[in-house]
Structure 1
């Protein structure tokens, strides 16, 4: 039998770990996933009931229900003749040369079904957060991240072999000639991209990816494609600058995207069209199209037709469904209580910053200014983004609707470039079991779906709620002061507001956090301290601030606090899925999230009488404190 003093995670979650079963259609089960399963069941029931009595007074929800019904009409889906997909494939197949590709480039991008071997995105400008910038990066890789392409990686060959065979089968279903060769050529092009792709560690340090290049210089450096004309076609103007997020890809662009590689590029494009289409067609193709993803994470079964129907609808109408969910399931009493907890967390942070012993007063005051400027969003948004008014189901097939919706969404992406940023926009629907901090708007967002037990409940004690949602709230606040968020000012701009000596001290603490986790062995392999440092800073800040707030309540119970903290991180997952997370997820493995932050808090030792001989013990001089 385990003891808290040796393993908080295993002790608190002992019964759950023994009894919990990973669903056959998922790679893991966790406290988050349990709420997801509950929400899926409720929403499937709700949307089915709405299908019987269409909500004519809510046009956006009405369109979502129409699409939901079409996604679940398997009789019609089984009758699909694939002609619409073949028409999309023909748009690539008719490109006989690299010159044809050049001449049709803007049409290919705006049509959006055809992936091209680079990406333009429209995002808030990191240094001018009220305006959008045009970003440039590579197209992404077939395997989860660059580490999977190392010859020593045990899964490289089996994954690429599976992807190639699976893709060839999909192409053959659409009667594409030379399906095996096309799949193989797609993999060849993918391997060419690997040296120029950002590593997961590089992506994790997103504040360092901001590399603005004057548009004239940007377009003159790339000679194989007319990017000057393309950019104008996309955003209807010539921006002052382009933000390059993947430097090596930009520097090597002409050696990758060129006449010599055209046959490989064309094959890669064909496979993208074919694989995407499988989600909207017959049951057989749906199962085939998802086979690689299941193999990657060792998932035993495909999603049921009912869950798939909901998944597709959420993929296009997420905020519509979220608003419906929030209005139905989230009460005003809970919203008021969570608002109170947010205010308490911010007050705690103010005090901690004022009493901080390693920051100068000048930097601490600016940090408090940023803290005071944080805007919390709780439950669900007041309004839907305008784009949902444009999504109208048609008399065509499910796939044809998806193609049309993708065109509309792509057009909207580039249309935003000429607008000011709306900082009230939610980037997560209310039915998603998650939360986030947005550095460009200095907002923290807590969707209704996470405001349930074990994270939060009016029936839980204050200590339990602080150990759950309180720590999550403070975690998101902490992101404003992690290694990325700390580089943005109170207005959301990438801007140096620290004194040099203070930031140097902060960088030393970042190094300590990296060392605290780096190389710790888990059942799936060692943790990468550099990849997970931002989330670990936020976890430590979160539990520390939440603990301070919990101690101010009359009914404080620190055993309940720490137990709830461990409970919210409970998780079981396939080894393959855990290995993938270790390579690319910016969060630490669940057991480390539960066990390591408490060991930096004196109250943990006092509460559970942890001694030097216990496995959870950390010497006082090694206990890390940042916020």
Structure 2
């Protein structure tokens, strides 16, 4: 990801490539006035391109970071707000999609009603948990699993990693409220600060829910004990990237033997309405599942109930009164550094899109996404596909046998652009304005759970999308071998039909190459052309790949993000490989396109810049942002993407044509000797 059919025929779209530099002598996506020559390109290329942009876009209290993605997201949010408020103005008929969307948004905006209700919407659930007798604890577990997802474990169908045409049943140990184990186990100042903020959050929300201070303190201590125990057996950040280690098939009988604390004979029937026996279950993390079993076996009823009470309150807090929202934000302030909550309308939009994102997306596409943009993108994708094939053919570290299989996978990429061919049907989702906001959003959650569980026993639906059209992002799904580009990212500075090819290839072209390269990164390389996890590499090629990626890991490990805090090259490896591959492949595709059009890139100029310079300048421009120190720490600890500055400076220092474009030579900080550069794809 840039934050899971039929392959388009090459001959059908190559003629649709964008116009050459000769059609435009001026920049459009890139503002030349923001290039800061007082910081030479060879000193700090990121600051050379983005420093003036940063000055022009100071962080407001709402944001922990603000960059080009946020600019586009703001545009997308404004459009979606216009769509949703417009629906409400039509006084839609009850039961229609427009009625459901409007009701969710209006209830999210109605803080007066939620403040008056307080914790009343969750009182029945809290009473159920509290009043369950000992002999009903198994029933309580199954109820919680079905309605909210047990905090001790999770299960559900997903594409089978070794046969992606069918769904498999996956099982995993429970998740922690603080998603990274270090927050619980490490005692340095930052992890301690976040841990203490989490303790405060738990106590505050339980008090908001009506518990006494003493009871809230007891529950908080129980939660921290349980989640710290989970953290001890949780995967490290680096281990979480070992996708092969996630495939651990178990028979139903072995589940009963290995994890006896779970009432397995009732589990799938009562929580998923699956009556037929399930022969095989994939355990994604046996160690975490063993810990969950041990906790469920040894904790007292009181401890288990306390944990359920917190998880229930935590899951509901986003749909209750302002007191709950304020407490959540106090924790988020520590985590991210943001000083002010997002406006209520933005929070309401997020909730509405989370509930019925494709319904909103369908309207978004009709109003804001021209078919011509899709056709342009098809041409760009095929040019990038051709270029990546050229790169595969020219690799010196890969054997011909593995190259042939890589080519087969490349040819099989499915391309999805703009919006789904088939939209979700929300007709069975029941939204009632007489019910509380919490009750309606619980129905939304249950609808999505039922939708997910309905896949069991059916062929995999390859038409589904993992993002809505109004999302400013893109992704690669290894289990479908597909690259997906939602409509909202197809805007400047990523893409503009009126911009020069150099800008578009340095923008959306790199994004396309990035997602394609994910098919061959340290995780994607384990999946074949059909999306099945299999070893299609010759052993010596896998060893050569590992040697190269180890060098890339060390390059990022060496970067000090903040005093005492270095980047994590192993955790961000996949994205770093994709960034580098995207840049290399997009430049080749760009040069190919100019050659086909007879453009001499050596003499062409765009506002005085060479096309190659414009290409790299716009790439750096994509990552322009301001960011708070707390957010830098959180992202370094928990995000598989490198920080924007490193995505520019560290990555470009491996690319020879970049040095040539800006005459960067030995002795300048951006320079890296040829023998130290890493070239993978």
Change (3 A) 1:23 1:209: farther
> What is the aligned partner in structure 2 of residue 296 from structure 1?
335
2:245 corresponds, among 179, 186, 208, to 208
Distance 1:580 1:310 in 2: 25
- Of 545-554 and 99-108, deviating more is 99-108
- Match status 1:34 vs 2:74: no
1:453 corresponds, among 483, 487, 492, to 492
Distance 1:551 1:539 in 2: 18
- Match status 1:171 vs 2:206: yes
- Match status 1:111 vs 2:147: yes
Is contact 1:117-1:265 (8 Å) kept? Answer: no
1:547 corresponds, among 579, 587, 600, to 587
- Match status 1:568 vs 2:606: no
Is contact 1:165-1:180 (8 Å) kept? Answer: no
1:242 corresponds, among 275, 278, 281, to 281
- Match status 1:65 vs 2:102: yes
1:614 corresponds, among 658, 668, 673, to 668
> What is the aligned partner in structure 2 of residue 150 from structure 1?
185
Aligned residues between the structures: 624
Shift of 1:555: 6.9
Distance 2:548 2:275 in 1: 45
Change (3 A) 1:471 1:480: same
Query: What is the TM-score normalised by the length of structure 2?
Result: 0.88
Shift of 1:128: 1.1
Is contact 2:365-2:469 (8 Å) kept? Answer: yes
> What is the aligned partner in structure 2 of residue 410 from structure 1?
449
Shift of 1:183: 1.8
Distance 2:543 2:672 in 1: 25
Distance 2:70 2:619 in 1: 16
> What is the aligned partner in structure 2 of residue 526 from structure 1?
566
- Of 8-17 and 497-506, deviating more is 497-506
**Unpaired stretches in structure 1, ≥5 consecutive residues:** none
Shift of 1:248: 1.2
> What is the aligned partner in structure 2 of residue 12 from structure 1?
49
1:253 corresponds, among 286, 292, 307, to 292
- Match status 1:605 vs 2:662: no
Is contact 2:118-2:320 (8 Å) kept? Answer: no
- Of 273-282 and 330-339, deviating more is 273-282
Deviations 1:563-611 (A, max 9, x none): 0010111222111111111112111111110112222222111111111
2:370 corresponds, among 306, 331, 339, to 331
Give 3-state SS (helix, strand or coil) of 1:340's partner.
helix
Is contact 2:67-2:625 (8 Å) kept? Answer: yes
Distance 1:264 1:198 in 2: 24
Distance 2:326 2:386 in 1: 51
Shift of 1:358: 1.9
1:357 corresponds, among 379, 383, 396, to 396
- Match status 1:287 vs 2:341: no
Is contact 2:223-2:307 (8 Å) kept? Answer: yes
Shift of 1:294: 2.7
Is contact 1:325-1:431 (8 Å) kept? Answer: yes
Distance 2:318 2:656 in 1: 52
2:160 corresponds, among 125, 131, 137, to 125
> What is the aligned partner in structure 1 of residue 24 from structure 2?
none
- Of 283-292 and 566-575, deviating more is 283-292
Distance 2:415 2:91 in 1: 34
Deviations 1:295-316 (A, max 9, x none): 2111111122211211211121
**Unpaired stretches in structure 2, ≥5 consecutive residues:** 1-37, 602-610
- Match status 1:137 vs 2:172: yes
Shift of 1:6: 1.4
Change (3 A) 1:111 1:252: closer
What are the residue-to-residue correspondences of 1:47-66 with 2, within 5 Å?
47-54=84-91, 59-66=96-103
Distance 2:99 2:391 in 1: 49
Shift of 1:441: 0.5
Shift of 1:276: 2.3
Shift of 1:58: 10
Deviations 1:389-418 (A, max 9, x none): 222211211111112222222233223222
Shift of 1:147: 1.9
Distance 1:61 1:559 in 2: 47
Deviations 1:61-102 (A, max 9, x none): 4421222122223333233153321111122112343x4221
- Of 151-160 and 575-584, deviating more is 151-160
> What is the aligned partner in structure 1 of residue 28 from structure 2?
none
What are the residue-to-residue correspondences of 1:491-510 with 2, within 5 Å?
491-510=530-549
The CA RMSD measured in Å over matched residues stands at 1.9
Query: What is the TM-score normalised by the length of structure 1?
Result: 0.95
Distance 1:261 1:582 in 2: 37
Is contact 1:54-1:65 (8 Å) kept? Answer: no
Distance 1:286 1:521 in 2: 35
Give 3-state SS (helix, strand or coil) of 1:307's partner.
helix
- Match status 1:536 vs 2:572: no
